[in-house]
């Protein structure tokens, strides 16, 4: 089963004091972290570096939902894709879906 979760890497602070929010994708015990364009400050995080700003949480959840919809449309579990193939498909989005459906 493919799972996705937002995470903030404690050791990846930018010079301006913000942190990247990444999406951790796990499939068949393999993990990849996808970069996003979402940044947070320390006040948006709990002491354990979990998101606490509801606006950011909603934005990340929408992003995760779109990834899950893509994987559902590709029938990931039935087609025996590797995690690398899933990540490539995510990067190419709709073009890949159209190609695979044909």
Q: Are 7 and 31 in contact (CB under 8 A)?
A: no
Number of domains making up the chain: 1
| 69-86 residue pLDDT tens | 877 777 766 567 788 887
- List the domain range (segments joined by +) for residue 45: 3-101
Q: Are 64 and 3 in contact (CB under 8 A)?
A: no
- pTM comes to 0.74
pLDDT in tens, the chain (102 residues): 788 899 999 898 999 999 999 999 888 889 999 888 999 999 999 989 999 999 999 999 998 998 888 777 777 665 677 888 877 877 766 444 434 443
Q: What is the pLDDT of residue 88?
A: 80
């Amino acid at each position: 089963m493919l799972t996705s979760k937002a995470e903030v890497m404690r050791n990846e602070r930018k010079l301006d004091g913000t942190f990247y929010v990444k999406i951790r994708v796990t499939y068949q015990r393999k993990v990849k972290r996808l970069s996003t364009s979402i940044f947070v400050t320390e006040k948006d995080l709990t002491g354990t570096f979990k998101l606490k700003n509801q606006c950011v949480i909603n934005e990340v959840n929408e992003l995760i939902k779109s990834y899950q919809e893509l994987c559902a449309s590709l029938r990931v579990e039935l087609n025996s894709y590797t995690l690398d193939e899933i990540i490539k498909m995510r990067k190419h989005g709709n073009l890949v879906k159209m190609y695979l459906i044909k």
